[in-house]
Amino acid sequence: MTQAYRVAVLGATGAVGTELLELLKERDFPASELKLLASERSAGKKLPFKGEDLPVEAVSEAALENVDLVLASAGGSISKVWAPKAAEKGAVVIDNSSAFRMNPEVPLIVPEVNAEAATKHKGIIANPNCTTILMSVAIFPLHKLKSIKRIVVATYQSASGAGARAMEEVKNQSLDILQGKEAVATIFPYPLAFNLFPHNSPLNSLGYCEEEMKMVNETRKIFNNQDIKITATCVRVPVLRAHSEAINLEFETPFNIEEARKILSNSPGVKLIEDWEANYFPMPIEATGKDEVLVGRIRQDISHECGLELWISGDQIRKGAALNAVQIAELLVEKNML
């Protein structure tokens, strides 16, 4: 008989939290008990799960007693407080915030890339940033064959990256603009409907924003390779859900395009989408709700004989967050490490 685990979802009422519940149900995760935890403000709400309405509790030390697994998606400040406490009580915490990603004691895991590193956890495992996850799944199969020297990536990031309220804001702004009204921005610094702007995370002294540096630093950690040169430009675009990325890869030696296509068409977590006659390639509207990262428009970089160009789209809430966390949990179950 399969062992069942006591699971807590921290941040259960958010966009990623509700997706976690959906995935636990869809994938029939072996949970004997499920606790839904959130802030005091959300306590008392009920969320559906497998035909029941489960109550949301305020997170507390008492609520974290007798829990085997915590799937946390409540933001960095919350995770910094509660993840160590949950780990001290014997739970394994898979944290979706940026709180522990660059901590050398905490594994940063994309199961399709570095699953073995998850076994070295000390109670906390970090889920990477959404853009990093999507890119890693798409390019690691190529990196395994020929080492990547340099990555130049531009992201086209949907509103979902800032949560459910941001998605609603874009919908409301669109309606206002179409009715001739002024678009009001409260979640984002500027209106996103019918607009785009460089990612709104804080800038460093070099002019790179926090989101761009996450892609640089996290990719190196996941690939266990500090020598890869990486530069990123991250942009918010008026898409509700699913991010896209234009990726330029430089290898040590030329990479045959047909070989790249063959590798990616057989890689876990990837779906190749290419119809050159129809000019049809991955789109966020088609990536929404999908588990796979859609990859296509693979072409030779005409400016560099060792360069390849890729275009990808992936569901930020799903594979870019919740699904990756659940896959890590499944990996721990498989290895009997919960």
Note whether 100 and 139 are same-domain residues: no
Note whether 90 and 30 are same-domain residues: yes
The pLDDT profile of the chain, 338 residues, written as one tens digit per residue, is 568 999 999 999 999 999 999 999 999 999 999 999 999 999 999 999 999 999 999 999 999 999 999 999 999 999 999 999 999 999 999 999 999 999 999 999 999 999 999 999 999 999 999 999 999 999 999 999 999 999 999 999 999 999 889 999 999 999 999 999 999 999 999 999 999 999 999 999 999 999 999 999 999 999 999 999 999 999 999 999 999 999 999 999 999 999 999 999 999 999 999 999 999 999 999 999 999 999 999 999 999 999 999 999 999 999 999 999 999 999 999 999 88
21-57 burial string, b = 16+ CB within 10 Å, else e?
A: bbbbeeeebbbeebbbbbbeebbeeebebeeeebebb
Note whether 181 and 304 are same-domain residues: yes
Note whether 327 and 258 are same-domain residues: no
The CATH code of the domain that includes 205 is: 3.30.360.10
The CATH code of the domain that includes 28 is: 3.40.50.720
Note whether 187 and 91 are same-domain residues: no
Note whether 190 and 98 are same-domain residues: no
Say whether 64 sits in a helix, a strand or coil. Answer: helix
Note whether 215 and 283 are same-domain residues: yes
List, by residue number, the catalytic residues.
130, 243
Distance CA 127, CA 325 (A): 6
Say whether 175 sits in a helix, a strand or coil. Answer: helix
Note whether 210 and 277 are same-domain residues: yes
Strands of 307-314's sheet in order across: 197-198, 229-236, 148-157, 243-251, 307-314, 293-300, 270-272
Q: Which residue has the tokens 């984002």?
A: 188
Cα–Cα separations (whole angstroms), residue 118 to 3, 74, 94, 137: 20, 21, 10, 16
- pTM for this one? 0.96
Contact criterion met (CB below 8 Å) for 160 and 242 = yes
Give residue 256's domain range: 132-316
Contact criterion met (CB below 8 Å) for 32 and 5 = yes
Note whether 78 and 119 are same-domain residues: yes
